[in-house]
């Protein structure tokens, strides 16, 4: 309950003390331990501190931060200041997880997958362009059934109001579930400390350098003798130099996940959404007065000119004016820098598709109602009923002509900003279902077949973008959310 965020430490401790008072000596030891936090409630301000200390001792967690000195723009301080930025090193994190226990290892690393399943995943992956030259493929001392793919992620986070931070994190590709169990922050820096472009670029380079050094160790499966800058390691890290990590498991870079802004900043792409040339992997252009109309990205035909300019990884390296600080990461490939499905699909294309289909259904009389308001309300009621019956939970806003962009009628309807990604995901399932029902009653209108297929593709597109579905369309990993679509 505490780990998932559904209960605070204070609430759990109060409830445990009530149990102990009622049950006395027959109370379970785990409940008694929670009740003892803060000297059995005498010093409630110490409850969280006691819990952290207790958990570290109980599971023998010896994980400490790796501190790096960086020049930052500290709030209310003149000029640049030397600041100690703490890192959680990936190779040390994996080593600690291996020693916690089989349950946590399964939750946080393997996702319950067996050795043969992991081997099958890698054999499939090494056939793909993005990973065919991955170093892990050629290192003979690595057993593929003990090789874990790791994805990195960066995004902005507001822990408190008006206090945005950059958070770099990692996750095993095999895991899903509670974020506390599967996603681990490796570096957190206040946004306000990096307002200068030079400071931000230096910080991105530092994170990439430290993470690359640590992932080299994780790939080799051995603790390092020297630090990311060639410095001699002292203390516990020096004593553990050369030690086998994570019970003989190895960890390989799989890919990088970020939204468009973070991709641009982290990898310094010079062909992005902010340029006329919008793609780092080809020469597709947005329409502009100085551009070539044949290269416009709006042409989706197979013979479109930009389709003939797709760049390989080596061609990307040769054609880019600036280089990503992550290029030294073993296994880095420009095409494994994945698009962010939350923004491109659930907060982007899906909102336009949904609103367009609502307009098509209502204006062509496929939904009963005296006017557009009644028709949209009828769809909203049906959505809540069908999703509840299917066990899908979410906050479902009632559709109106204004929040769907249908009133006044315009060429580009779109769901308003009040529709969040989580609710759009569930709505896609419902709209695919509704499109199928209307198509069954109106088979002469073939548009419904295309609409249903479009919604289903949008549901599974997240997994396609994450490259877990192979080129022949056979799932390399069973994805419950994909099959539910």
- CA–CA gap between residue 131 and residue 391 (Å, rounded): 38
What residues contact 164, with CB distance under 8 A and at least 6 apart? 156, 157, 158, 190, 191, 192
Averages of pLDDT over each 10 residues, the chain, 485 residues: 67 87 83 86 84 72 89 89 96 92 92 95 95 95 96 89 90 90 94 93 97 98 96 93 95 94 91 88 89 84 88 91 93 91 82 87 88 94 92 87 83 85 87 86 70 59 38 32 30
Q: Can you give the pLDDT at residue 162?
A: 79
Q: Can you give the pLDDT at residue 199?
A: 95
Residue that has been written with the tokens 């340029």 in this structure:
275
C-beta neighbour count of 87 within 10 angstroms:
21
- CA–CA gap between residue 279 and residue 448 (Å, rounded): 32
Residue that has been written with the tokens 């641009």 in this structure:
264
Sketch the domain layout of the chain as residue ranges: 9-58, 66-261, 275-321, 341-484
- CA–CA gap between residue 221 and residue 330 (Å, rounded): 14
Q: Supply angle C-alpha 125, 129, 130, rounded to 5.
A: 70
Burial 262-275 (b: 16+ CB within 10 A, else e): bbbbbbbbebbeee
């Amino acid at each position: 309950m505490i780990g998932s965020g559904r209960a605070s430490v204070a609430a759990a401790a109060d409830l445990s003390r009530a149990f102990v008072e009622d049950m006395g000596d027959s109370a379970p030891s785990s409940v008694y331990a929670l009740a003892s936090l803060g000297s059995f409630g005498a010093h409630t301000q110490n409850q969280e501190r006691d819990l952290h200390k207790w958990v570290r001792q109980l599971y023998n967690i010896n994980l400490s931060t790796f501190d790096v000195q960086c020049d930052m723009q500290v709030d209310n301080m003149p000029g640049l200041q030397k600041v100690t930025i703490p890192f959680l090193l990936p190779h040390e994190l994996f080593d600690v997880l291996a020693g916690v226990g089989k349950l946590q290892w399964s939750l946080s690393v393997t996702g319950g997958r067996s050795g043969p399943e992991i081997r099958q995943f890698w054999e499939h992956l090494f056939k793909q362009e993005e990973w065919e030259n991955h170093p892990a493929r050629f290192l003979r001392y690595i057993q593929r059934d003990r090789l874990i793919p790791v994805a990195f992620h960066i995004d902005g986070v507001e822990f408190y109001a008006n206090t945005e931070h950059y958070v770099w994190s990692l996750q095993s590709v095999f895991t899903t579930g509670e974020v506390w169990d599967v996603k681990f922050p490796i570096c957190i820096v206040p946004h306000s400390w990096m307002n200068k472009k030079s400071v931000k670029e230096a910080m991105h380079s530092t994170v990439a350098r430290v993470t690359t050094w640590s992932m080299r160790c994780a790939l080799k499966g051995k603790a390092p003798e020297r630090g990311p800058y060639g410095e001699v390691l002292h203390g516990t890290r020096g004593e553990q130099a050369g030690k086998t990590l994570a019970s003989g498991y190895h960890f390989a870079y799989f890919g990088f996940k970020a939204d468009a802004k973070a991709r641009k900043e982290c990898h310094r792409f010079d062909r992005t959404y902010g340029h006329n040339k919008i793609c780092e992997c080809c020469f597709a252009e947005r329409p502009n007065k100085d551009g070539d109309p044949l290269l416009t990205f709006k042409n989706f035909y197979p013979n479109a000119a930009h389709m003939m300019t797709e760049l390989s990884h080596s061609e990307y390296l040769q054609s880019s004016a600036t280089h990503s600080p992550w290029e030294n990461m073993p296994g880095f490939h420009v095409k494994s820098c994945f698009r962010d499905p939350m923004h491109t699909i659930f907060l982007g294309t899906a909102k336009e598709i949904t609103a367009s289909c609502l307009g098509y259904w209502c204006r062509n009389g496929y939904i009963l109602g005296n006017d557009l308001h009644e028709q949209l309300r009828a769809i909203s009621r049906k959505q809540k009923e069908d999703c509840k019956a299917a066990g899908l939970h979410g906050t479902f806003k009632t559709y109106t002509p204004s929040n769907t962009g249908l009133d006044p009628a315009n060429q580009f309807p779109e769901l308003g900003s009040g529709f969040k990604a989580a609710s759009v995901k569930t709505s896609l399932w419902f709209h695919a279902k509704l499109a199928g029902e209307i198509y069954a009653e109106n088979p002469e209108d073939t548009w419904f077949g295309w609409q249903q297929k479009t919604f289903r593709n949008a549901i599974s597109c997240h997994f396609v973008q994450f490259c877990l579905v192979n080129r022949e369309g056979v799932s390399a990993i069973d994805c419950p959310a994909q099959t539910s679509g």
